[in-house]
Amino acid sequence: MRAWTPTVAIVLVATLAAAVCAKVHPASLAAENPPAIDWATAAASDRPILWVDARSPSQYLGGHMPGAVQLWEQDWQDGLGRFLEAWQPETLVVVYCPAARCHAGERVAARIHRETGIEALVFAGGWEALKPHAGNGHHRP
Amino acid sequence: MIPWGLIINLGAGLCLCGVFLVAGVVKIVDPVSFYHAIRDYQILPHVMAQVVAWWLPWLEVSAALSLAMPRTRWSAAAILGLLSLGFLGLNLVALVRNTGATCSCFGPLASIPVGVTMALDALLCGLAFILLRLHRRPPTVDHPGEP
């Protein structure tokens, strides 16, 4: 029984410290998980959509949603400037990354919200799911 | 006569302690980056990733500091060894699944490719194993001297 006492003590100390840290730390992780939106919901929305492309410049140049603002994490300041120029209060901001399982969209949407206060949604499915809609005239639902 | 046992013990302990202490502290300072690094691995959902982002750095720090105390050294080495083994497994999964995740072991200090991280994890595992071999496990009975 006593063999486990130091192990339990170390884990307990870490757990208590983490609990206190989560309470007092200025960062909030709860806000780091922006809501997602799919094509059907986006199409049903009566608000104009501002698409934000979180992919790399080469991927963006290879094809993107018409009117999409490129906001890549490695070139954040320039991209944020372009985003703020394009943003209007009535627009619905939707971020997409290459695929459904990529996480860049969440990171960019959370960072937009953290730094500007503007709520951004993540497009579920990413560019892979958006691509068929990019050139058929339904890009501004 | 060179006290190799003492040198190896001290060297392994200092390396393990230093690496995990730095790794833990930078993640405590910037939990947001660590949270996103966890999510990049595409294994844990949002809530679990939050819990791990708050808890894991403190476990690394408390175990690293516990290496300095003789009474807790064996347990600390066991925890750090298990953590290294876990990281090795996670990075292997990331490599196989090609998620593009990079290790955020040292937070914003360095972004290390998965392959290099796996080598580092294996090294840390080895160091923890050396410490486990050099130090006796705590007694498993309450009164070992009594019949």
The pLDDT tens digits for A69-83 are: 999 988 999 999 999
Tokens 């990529």, residue? A102
What percentage of chain A exceeds 70 in pLDDT? 93
Say yes or no for a CB contact (<8 Å) between A17 and B62.
yes
ipTM of the complex: 0.81
The conformation of residue A72, written as its DSSP 8-state character, comes to -
Count other Cβ atoms within 10 Å, centred on residue A5: 13
Confidence of residue A137 (pLDDT cuts 50, 70, 90): very low
Evaluate if residue A2 carries a pLDDT over 80.
no
Residue B36: both structure tokens together: 């996103």
With an 8 Å Cβ cutoff, is B59 touching chain A? yes
| Statement: residue B103 has pLDDT above 70 | no
pLDDT at B39 over 90: no
Give B91→chain A minimum CA distance, Å: 17
- Which amino acid is present at A40? A
Q: What is the pLDDT of residue B125?
A: 94
**pLDDT at residue A77, as a whole number:** 92
Q: Of all residues in chain B, what percent carry a pLDDT higher than 90?
A: 50
Q: Does B61 touch chain A (CB under 8 A)?
A: yes
Res B7: pLDDT: 87
Query: Best-predicted range by mean pLDDT among A47-56, B37-46, B113-122?
Result: A47-56
pLDDT, residue B147, reads 44
pLDDT at B73 over 50: yes
Reported residue count of chain A is 141
Q: H or E element: which one contains A92?
A: strand A92-96
- Computed over every residue of chain B, the mean pLDDT equals 85
The DSSP code for A35 is P
Question: Cβ A103–B137 below 8 Å, yes or no?
Answer: no
- The average pLDDT across A96-123 equals 89
Interface residue of A1, A7, A20, A112 to substitute, partner B, most B CBs within 10 Å: A7
Question: Which pairing describes strands A92-96 and A69-70: parallel, antiparallel, or unpaired?
Answer: unpaired
Q: What is the pTM of this model?
A: 0.78
Q: Which residues does A23 contact at the CB level (< 8 Å), separation at least 6?
A: none
